[in-house]
Amino acid sequence: EAGKVETPAAITGLALVTNGTQLATAEEDKNLRVWALPTMPAPAEAPKPVAEIKLKGEPTYLAGNPASKYVAVADKTNNVSV
C-alpha cells in the first residue's frame, strides 16, 4: 500500500490525472476533490486535497486522462463540468 486518501464523503467516481501524480474524486457531498498522490515511502499522514470544486448536484460520473490535468464530471442535475 502506497498510501490512503481519506475523503469526507462517499466517492462516486475517481480518475488519475496529471501524469498519474494526482487523483480526482467525485463525492456524494457535491464536491470534486483533487489529491496529490503520495510518493514512496508513504507519508505518515493522509494527504489533504490540493483543489476542491463545489458542484451543482451530486456527481454521477467522472472521467479523466492520466496524461492531462483535466477531468469531466456529470451530476444528477444533468450538468457536465470540465
Per residue in 63-79, pLDDT (tens digit) is: 888 888 888 888 888 88
Per residue in 28-63, pLDDT (tens digit) is: 999 999 988 877 666 667 777 888 888 888 888 888
> Grid coordinates representing 53?
470544486
What pLDDT score does 62 carry? 87
* pTM, 2 dp: 0.77
- Within the chain, strands assigned E span 11-17, 22-27, 31-36, 49-54, 59-64, 71-75, 80-81
- Whole-number Å distance between alpha carbons of 2 and 22: 13
**Pairing verdict, β 80-81 and 71-75:** antiparallel
- Cβ burial of 19 (10 Å; 0-12, 13-18, 19+) is exposed
Q: What is the mean pLDDT of the chain?
A: 83
